[in-house]
Amino acid sequence: MVSNSAVIPSDLIGAAMRSSRILVTGAGGFIGHQLVARLKRQGHWVRGIDIKRPEYGETAADEFELLDLRRWDNCLRAMRNIDAVYALAADMGGMGFISANHAQIMHNNALINIHTLEAARESGVEHYLFASSACVYPEYKQTDNGEPLKEEDAYPAQPQDAYGWEKLVAERMCLHYREEYGLQTRIARLHNVFGPLGTWQGGREKAPAALCRKIAVAKLTGDPKVEIWGDGRQARSF
C-alpha cells in the first residue's frame, strides 16, 4: 500500500536501480508525477509519457511527451533508448468513475497494456513494472470484515468491475512475458493511493481525497452533514 506521496517504497523502484534511462507512463498522474521526481533524485534519466501534464506542478522529467499509448506507434516511440519501464498509464478514477464506464475502461486499458508491454519487449527493455490495483481481488472479499489480503487471494478470480478484470489480465501477460521472453516484469497492486498533489475533485478522485474535500466543504459552509456511499458501516483499508 502507498498512502503518502512523499514516500514511495523502495521495492517499487528496485527494478530500475541498475538502469539509467527510465520511462514512466502515466507521468501526468498523481503517482507517476511523484515517481518521476523520486527517480530524478536518485540520479536517473527519466522520460515521462501521458496524454496530459501534471495538474498541480511541473514535471521533473528530462523529457515529457504527450502521447496516446493506445496507439502502437506511440508506444514504440516512447520506448526508444529505454532500459526500464514503469507502466502506470491507465484510464481510471475513483469508484464512481470505474463503476460507470466499463466498456471505455476495458477498451482503453487493454490497448495501453498490450501495446506498452509488447513495445517494451521489441525495444529490448530490461525491466518492466506494471501498476496493478486492489480491484483485482474478488468482490466477495469485501465482505470479509477487513481481513488482510494475500497475493494468492486474487484467485479464484472474481474482480470488481471491468477495471479489475483488465488489471488481472495484464498481470497474467506480465507473468507470461517473463516466462517466455525473459523480460524482467514486476507487479505492484496499489491500494487507495492518496496524498499531496493528487486529484481531489471532478469525479475521478479516490475515496480518501473525496472524503477530505467533503469535510473541508462542511467546515466552510457550517453544514455538519457529510454524505457517503453505503450504510456507514462498511470498511475499507486506507
Q: Which residues are catalytic?
A: 163
Which residue(s) pair with 127 in the sheet? 84, 184
Torsion of CA 208, 209, 210, 211, to 10 degrees: 50
Are 36 and 13 contacting, i.e. CB atoms less than 8 angstroms apart? no
Are 65 and 124 contacting, i.e. CB atoms less than 8 angstroms apart? no
Q: φ and ψ at 77, to 5 degrees?
A: -60, -40
- How far apart CA 60 and CA 22 sit, in angstroms, is 13
Helix (H) or strand (E) holding 163: helix 161-181
Nine-digit cell string for 66: 504527450
| Cβ neighbours, 10 Å, residue 145 | 6
Spatial CB neighbours of 160, under 8 Å, sequence gap ≥ 6: 135, 137, 138, 139, 142
- How far apart CA 232 and CA 230 sit, in angstroms, is 6
Helix (H) or strand (E) holding 186: strand 184-190
